[in-house]
Structure 1
Amino acid sequence: MALRFVGKDPESRDHGSPAVWVDEDAKDLLFQGVKADRQTEATCNRDVAMPSYEGIVRVPKRMIPLLREALDVAELE
C-alpha cells in the first residue's frame, strides 16, 4: 500500500489532525481526525447502520482545499 500524504489542518499547530492521505493503489481517501461525539454518531446511524468497527470522523470545512487536492490525486493517477 502506497499512501501519499496530502496535508493536515493548518490550524492544528503541532497536532497531526485532521489529516488526509490518498492510497495510490486503491485510490481511496484516508482521514485522521477527531471522532464524532455519540449524538452525531447516533444521528448518522439513523441513515446508515454503523458496525462497531467503524466511526464517523468530522473534517472541518477549512480542509476542503486539501480534500479537493486528494480527489484530484486519486482521479489523475
Structure 2
Amino acid sequence: MALRFIGIDPNTNGGNCPSVWIDPATGDFLFQGWEVTDQADLAQITTRSPIAGHEKIVRLPARMREIIAEACGDGAADLR
C-alpha cells in the first residue's frame, strides 16, 4: 500500500524538504528531516535511548508542529 503524504515544511525552498508521512498499513509515522550530527545532542539522546546502528535521529523545524499534529489526529487512528 502506498504511503500517505501528510505535509511538508511550509517554508521549504525546494531542497531540504522535511516532510511527514503515514504508512496506512501499519499506522507508522515516517519523518524526513535533517540528520542530527551534533555530538552534544546525540550524547543527550543516547543517555536515555541508545541509537542502534540502523537508526538515525532527525530534526524537524518547530513550524511543522501543525503537520505533525495532523498526522497524530485526523484519521490516523483509523489507519490501524
Cα RMSD between the aligned structures? Answer: 1.4
* Stretches (4+) displaced over 4 A: none
Unaligned runs of 5+ in 2: none
Work out the CA distance in 2 between the residues paired with 1:36 and 1:49: 14
Q: In the alignment, which residue of structure 2 is the partner of 1:59? A: 60
Contact kept, 8 Å, 1:32 with 1:57, in 2: the verdict is yes
TM-score, normalised by the number of residues in structure 2: 0.85
TM-score, normalised by the number of residues in structure 1: 0.88
Work out the CA distance in 2 between the residues paired with 1:50 and 1:38: 14
Tell me, what secondary structure is at the counterpart of 2:11? helix
Contact kept, 8 Å, 1:8 with 1:16, in 2: the verdict is no
Q: In the alignment, which residue of structure 2 is the partner of 1:3? A: 3
Q: In the alignment, which residue of structure 2 is the partner of 1:49? A: 50
Question: Taking every aligned residue pair, what percent have the same amino acid on both sides?
Answer: 38
Aligned length: 77
Contact kept, 8 Å, 2:16 with 2:34, in 1: the verdict is no
Tell me, what secondary structure is at the counterpart of 1:11? coil
Contact kept, 8 Å, 2:6 with 2:20, in 1: the verdict is yes
Unaligned runs of 5+ in 1: none
